[in-house]
């Protein structure tokens, strides 16, 4: 699935099953909440925290998909083409960081 297809599928789902988009501000708050849920699972899976019983069945991939879903909603609501935005971001990073990471002693 491409980013464009994902944006189209989320839009179709929202308009048929979800009735309508939540407001942009509500979706921004939901995105923050979903990132927090992902952080909790990452801290328990790869960090030093132990799992709570309520977190044991949660999967990082599912939490990442929740983050992506809400991000796609926000992109759709604000007219952002994520494919174009990501391509521009690659160009920006490639120009700005062409030698930066290669010269970073911490990464060697």
pLDDT in tens, 31-73: 999 999 999 999 999 999 888 888 778 899 999 999 999 999 9
Domain ranges (residues) in the chain? 3-81
Q: CATH for 3-81?
A: 1.10.287.1080
Q: What is the pLDDT of residue 56?
A: 79
DSSP 6-64: HHHHHHHHHHHTS-SPPPHHHHHHHHHHHHHHHHHHHHHHTSSPPPPGGGTT--HHHHH
Where residue 99 falls among pLDDT bands split at 50, 70, 90?
confident
What is the predicted pLDDT for the residue at 19?
A: 93
């Amino acid at each position: 699935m491409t980013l464009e297809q994902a944006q189209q599928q989320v839009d179709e789902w929202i308009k048929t099953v979800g009735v309508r988009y939540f407001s942009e501000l509500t979706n921004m708050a939901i995105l923050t909440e979903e990132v927090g849920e992902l952080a909790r699972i990452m801290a328990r899976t790869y960090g030093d925290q132990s799992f709570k019983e309520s977190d044991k069945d949660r999967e990082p991939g599912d939490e990442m998909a929740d983050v992506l879903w809400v991000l796609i909603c926000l992109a759709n609501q604000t007219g952002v083409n994520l494919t174009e935005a990501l391509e521009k971001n690659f160009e920006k990073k490639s120009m700005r960081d062409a030698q930066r990471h290669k010269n970073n002693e911490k990464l060697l």
